[in-house]
Amino acid sequence: MMGRRNDTNVADFILTGLSDSEEVQMALFMLFLLIYLITMLGNVGMILIIRLDLQLHTPMYFFLTHLSFIDLSYSTVITPKTLANLLTSNYISFTGCFAQMLFFVFLGTAECYLLSSMAYDRYAAICSPLHYTVIMSKRLCLALITGPYVIGFMDSFVNVVSMSRLHFCDSNIIHHFFCDTSPILALSCTDTDNTEMLIFIIAGSTLMVSLITISASYVSILSTILKINSTSGKQKAFSTCISHLLGVTIFYGTMIFTYLKPRKSYSLGRDQVASVFYTIVIPMLNPLIYSLRNKEVKNALIRVMQRRQDSR
């Protein structure tokens, strides 16, 4: 019976983390803690500013609120456990590992499709400015925000269920700092070809559909901007989507580099650096990207602070 149990499951996993050196672990702990605090402050602050300022109650900032929520959740799924592992035990239960992977895939997929929704919003604003409020109705905005969450949950559920059926009998050591698909697949002592193909199809479909939507939106946007006669008009139109374009480039660049490749090309060091970037760093960068170059957000922050001072 014991042999059969070991062939079908393990009680827990061990995450090797990013380094065996105590000095490096402490340095990483301080760095990741600082990044996480900035992530919390930036994303919560973005949500509060948008909620408190009526002038930001538009579709663009409605989507940005959900992007901040996803980034905050995304970072919280990974960073606290990583911080704990840097100081204490690297153990994570089988259930906890797959729960982490479920939420990680769910939020990552949801962000892909949310960025597509934001691209369509920018397309409607620049290409059809006179009909923007009609096109981006409340009903459509709710559909564009509900869709990413629904698709994200479905994708993550299928992903985790297929991987939970694998047998882990040789080792329970995950050579990573969180429960990601590639290092967990590497632990299986059974054939993973079908599972790998399913995950590749799901991840590939998510990236392709969202990228095609974003690319088509920006081709139309670029075409419209080029038709504007005045230089100031072109700059104003382009400035409304530069932050989103930068965020998309960073997010998709790291995701494609990490996931759209066979497991055999998995490289521990290289992939861990990429994973740190998109799980810990990008959630911190997004509120900075969307606020530092955005006069509306800066002005909204000033108005909110002035109202608080006046109320005193």
CATH number at residue 85: 1.20.1070.10
185 found inside a domain = yes
pLDDT of 151 higher than 70: yes
200 found inside a domain = yes
- Matching residue, tokens 């301080």: 30
272 found inside a domain = yes
Structure tokens at 112: 């892909």
pLDDT of 34 higher than 90: yes
**pLDDT, position 266:** 53
Which residue would you say has higher pLDDT here, 196 or 171? 196
**pLDDT, position 61:** 92
Task: Give me the mean pLDDT over the 277-291 stretch.
Answer: 88
* Alpha carbons 45 and 159: distance in angstroms, whole number: 33
* Alpha carbons 183 and 163: distance in angstroms, whole number: 12
Which residue would you say has higher pLDDT here, 5 or 122? 122
Number of structural domains the chain divides into: 1
As a whole-number percent, the residues of the chain with pLDDT over 70 amount to: 91
8 found inside a domain = no
303 found inside a domain = no
Using pLDDT thresholds of 50, 70 and 90, give the confidence band for residue 263: low
**pLDDT, position 209:** 93
Domain that holds residue 246: 13-295
216 found inside a domain = yes
CA-based diameter of the chain, in Å? 78
90 found inside a domain = yes
Using pLDDT thresholds of 50, 70 and 90, give the confidence band for residue 119: very high
Structure tokens at 36: 């996480």
**pLDDT, position 261:** 58
6 found inside a domain = no
